[in-house]
Structure 1
Amino acid sequence: MGPAVVWDTATGTELRRLHGQEQGCLAAAFSPEGRLVATGCGDRTVRCWDPSTGQELRRFPGHTFDVTAVAFSPDRRQLLTGSGQSEFGADQVRLWDLDGGRELRRFGERLFAVTAVGFAVRGGLAVATTMDNLLHVWDPVTGAETGRFEIGAGNLRCLAVSPDGRRLLTGSGTDYYDADLLATLGVDNRVRLVDPGDGRELARYEGHTGNVNAVAFTPDGRRAVSAGADRTIRLWELGG
């Protein structure tokens, strides 16, 4: 694992590296207006950077395991983070006040290995995926859990929120399942479109032959992109 790297997407040129992260970068996200980058680190810290200069602006300590997921709220005032601890715990998803630098809230009980976090419904919901194929949903204001939904049979490895905040993409994988689990549950390397309010599966996209490790919506929300351990990147027509 190394530092986060900022790239020029038009040319593919490396612009700068965000140095100073002990144990390397495990997750990164741009703020909605693109003026900040948040990273999750193997040293259990969350950091915010100026991507134009590479300067570290703020550091959020407190997680007790590697930080594997970060997401900005739509209004850029808050940061949601998750850690990948493989023991059940109640402090793995945290909400931070970005400007004040203080922890606002911890979410959930018995969470297992958080893989992704996000804000849905224009910030009205905080969501997280965990390796035990669960989608967790909370009210970010009160911290109350509003849903815990089983999604597919594979490890939930990634998450994306649609531009309008009303749909989620999830990616699953069973590459690390043993023979007994595969015989019982079957192979699940699928992309799914999910309603964050009730966990309902809206559509399913099949084709990957390995873990789905990353998903994203196009800016208009009508298509999706997924990247898999099968070394393919796939473009999906979502419709609607």
Structure 2
Amino acid sequence: MSETLQLRGTLRGHNGWVTQIATNPKYPDMILSCSRDKTLIVWKLTRDETNYGVPQKRLYGHSHFVSDVVLSSDGNYALSGSWDKTLRLWDLAAGRTTRRFEDHTKDVLSVAFSVDNRQIVSGSRDKTIKLWNTLAECKYTIQDDGHSEWVSCVRFSPNHSNPIIVSAGWDKVVKVWNLTNCKLKNSHTDHTGYLNTVTVSPDGSLCASGGKDCKAMLWDLNDGKHLHTLDHNDIITALCFSPNRYWLCAAFGPSIKIW
């Protein structure tokens, strides 16, 4: 695309790196962020040119860097993962933790909600993927055929007819898991560098992965095939699909690119 993205405003409030942001289409004036300052912030967007948004609530509880955060589909709850080895489920209206998830033995790097918000998945530096219920009970730990290095990113597919989890790791591999039995379906080994991110398309038919090798790779989740490689010239730190079309957005270095 030849269009240029225009900076609309900057949100200031964290005292460390911002590690993740989460949004929900039902609440277009709200953004949730997490940071290496060990906190999460709920922002209210004002869209004022001089002050685009203000911190509405700061959430305390984690004792180390907060590495990831996601919102529930109704926008009422948040799920965070931290280097303190725990996950937390937050009631955003009350501004407090409702559940604390403890079973990982090293830093939690990635968390995700299932589409119905009834299941939770996490990935960690302990090289495991854990499946939880919302009562903070670990229902399954994926280790067989698992990643040989840190699990950097985990995501559920939104497709009910093909219930899967997708994971990416520092072993340069994208893995696709059957959600019903937590068994490995596919391993994608085309990357040549560690992976930071994986994302699933809104219809659950595709996933995209990226990391150190500066390539975004597209995979067909129905038949397990590698579809396409998008080359770039910098490490890819984050990927996401547009919610309503097959646009892929990548963050790398100081820039954002849309394919």
Q: Give the TM-score normalised by structure 1.
A: 0.83
* Displacement of 1:198: 4.4
Q: Over residues 190-211 of structure 1, what are the superposed CA-to-partner deviations in whole Å (9 max), with x where a residue is unaligned?
A: 112212344422222223x321
The two structures, once aligned, show a CA RMSD in angstroms of 1.7
Conservation of the 8 A alpha-carbon contact between 1:107 and 1:138: no
Per-residue deviation, residues 42-99 of structure 1 (Å, max 9, x unmatched): 11001011223321111110100000000101111000001023xxx5xx1000011x
Separation in 2 of the partners of 1:96 and 1:71? 10
Structure 1: unaligned runs, 5 residues or longer:
174-187
Partner AA of 1:210 in structure 2:
D
Q: Is the 8 A contact 1:128 1:135 kept in 2?
A: yes
Moved over 6 A (4+): none
Of 1-10 and 100-109, more deviation after overlay is shown by 1-10
Please list the CA deviations of residues 7-50 of structure 1 after superposition, one character each: whole Å capped at 9, or x if unmatched: 23553332222211101201111112222110001110010112
Report matched runs for 1:109-120 at 5 Å.
109=144, 110-111=146-147, 112-120=149-157
Per-residue CA shift, 1:111-170, capped at 9, x if unaligned?
210110011252501111011111112112212111222132121110111111111121
Q: Select which of 230, 240, 254 maps to 1:205.
A: 230
Offset at 1:217? 0.8
1:215 aligns with 2:252: no
Contact 1:134 1:149 in 2 (8 A): yes
Identity %: 28
The residue aligned with 1:93 is 129
Q: Residue in 2 aligned with 1:181?
A: none
Partner of 2:66: 25
- Secondary structure at 2:43 match in 1: strand
Give the Cα separation in 1 of the matches to 2:245 and 2:106: 33
Does 2:211 match 1:172? yes
Cα gap change, 1:77 to 1:190, in 2 (>3 Å): same
In the aligned structure 1, how far is the partner of 2:138 from the partner of 2:73? 21
Q: Are the aligned partners of 1:27 and 1:40 in contact in 2 as well (CA < 8 Å)?
A: yes
Conserved in 2, the CA contact under 8 Å of 1:147 and 1:198? no
Rounded to whole Å, the distance in 2 between the matches of 1:137 and 1:169 is: 12
Cα distance in structure 2, aligned partners of 1:40 and 1:14: 21
Which 5+ residue runs of structure 2 have no aligned equivalent? 1-35
Choose 11-20 or 129-138, whichever is displaced more: 11-20
Question: Which residue, 177, 185, 188 being the options, matches 1:149?
Answer: 188
User: C-alpha distance in 2, partners of 1:159/1:7?
Assistant: 26
- Contact preservation (8 Å) 1:121, 1:166: no
Q: How many residues align?
A: 214
Identify the match of residue 190 of structure 1 among 215, 232, 235.
215
1:160 to 195, 199, 214: 199
